[in-house]
Amino acid sequence: MADKPVWEQIGAGFVQLYYQQFDTDRTKLGDLYTDASCLTWEGAGYQGKEAIMGKLSSLPFQSIQHIITAQDHQPTPDNCVMSMVMGQLKADQDQVMGFQQVFLLKNIDNKWICANDMFRLALHNFGA
Amino acid sequence: MADKPVWEQIGAGFVQLYYQQFDTDRTKLGDLYTDASCLTWEGAGYQGKEAIMGKLSSLPFQSIQHIITAQDHQPTPDNCVMSMVMGQLKADQDQVMGFQQVFLLKNIDNKWICANDMFRLALHNFGA
C-alpha cells in the first residue's frame, strides 16, 4: 500500500475503518464526524455529529455487514480527499442489497474526519 | 426551485446541464472542467481538461441517454458543492445499465466548474 498515492492511502484507510466500526458498533462512529459534518441518508439531511449519530444509531437493524466491491479516491483542490464506495450490505436477515456512499475527508488538527457523507441504496438505480 | 438551498440549486443545475450536454454532444463538455480537474472513470484516472475530454470523447458508443433517478447535494467546508447522482443509461442498442457518479463543484471566476468527477456502472454493486 505504501507505493499508492497518499490520497488513496488516506481514502482507503478511512473506508476500512468506517465500515469495520459500522459493522462492529455503529454508535461509536462519532469520532469520525464534527459538528459541521453533513450526512444525506437516503435523501434525508442531517448536520452535525449529534444529528448524524442519532440517525445512524437509530437505523432499524441489529446486525449489519458491508462488503466493498469498488472504491475510488481523488485529491480535491482544497486538500481534501473524496472517496466513492460501492458495495453490498446485509442487515439482519434481510436480502443482500447494493449501496453506494461518498465521503469528503478533511484534515483537521492532524486527523482525517468526514466532512460530507452521502448514502443511497442501489435500488435507486432501478427506480420507476 | 428558488426556495431550495443555494447549494442544491447549484448542484441540480450542474447535473441537468452535464447530462443534457453529454447526451447531445459529449465532445463539448470541456467547458465544465479545468486543467486541474480529476476524473476517475470505471477505476481509471485522468487529470486535466485535455485528458478528461480525450477519455469522454473516445467512449465506444455513438448515442447515449441518461435518466437520473436520485441526486443528493451538500455544501462542503471549502465552499464547494458535492453532488451524488444515481441513474440509468442506455448506450446505442445495449441493455439499460445503472450508474453512479459524483461531482465536486468549485466556483472559479464566478463559474461553477467540476473539480472532481467519479463514474462507475452499477454492476460493481453486484460483483463477485
pLDDT tens digits for range B19-76: 999 999 999 999 999 999 999 999 999 999 999 999 999 999 999 999 999 999 999 9
pLDDT, residue A124, reads 61
Task: Write down all domains in chain A, each with its CATH number in brackets.
Answer: 6-126 (3.10.450.50)
* Residue with grid cell 445495449, as numbered in its chain: B94
Calpha distance B2→A127 (Å, rounded): 26
Calpha distance A113→A20 (Å, rounded): 16
**Chain B: which residues have CB within 8 Å of chain A?**
36, 38, 40, 43, 45, 69-70, 72, 74-78, 80, 82, 84, 86-88, 98-100, 102, 104, 106, 115-116, 118, 120, 122, 124-127
Residue A1, pLDDT > 60, answer no
Read off the pLDDT of residues A51-78 as tens digits, 9 standing for 90 and up: 999 999 999 999 999 999 999 999 999 9
Task: Tell me the average pLDDT of chain A.
Answer: 94
